[in-house]
Amino acid sequence: MVFQNLTKLLIQVVVSVIILSPILWVVGRAIVGGRRARFSDALWIVALGTIINSFVGAYVHGILGFIATLILWLALIKHFFDAGWGTAIIIAVVAIIVLGIVALILAFLGLAFISGIGVMKGIL
Domain map (residue ranges) of the chain = 2-123
Residue 25 has pLDDT above 90, yes or no: yes
Distance separating alpha carbons of residues 51 and 72, to the nearest angstrom: 11
Q: Could you report the per-residue pLDDT of 71-83, keeping only the tens digit for each?
A: 999 999 999 999 9
Looking at residue 45, its pLDDT comes to 94
Residue 3's pLDDT band, with cuts at 50, 70 and 90, is confident
Distance separating alpha carbons of residues 118 and 114, to the nearest angstrom: 6
- The answer, as to whether pTM is greater than 0.75, is yes
The residue among 116 and 100 whose pLDDT is bigger is 100
Phi first, then psi, for residue 119 (nearest 5°) are -65, -45
Q: CA 57 → CA 71, 83, 113, distances in Å? A: 13, 26, 36
The mean pLDDT of 14-18, rounded to a whole number, is 89
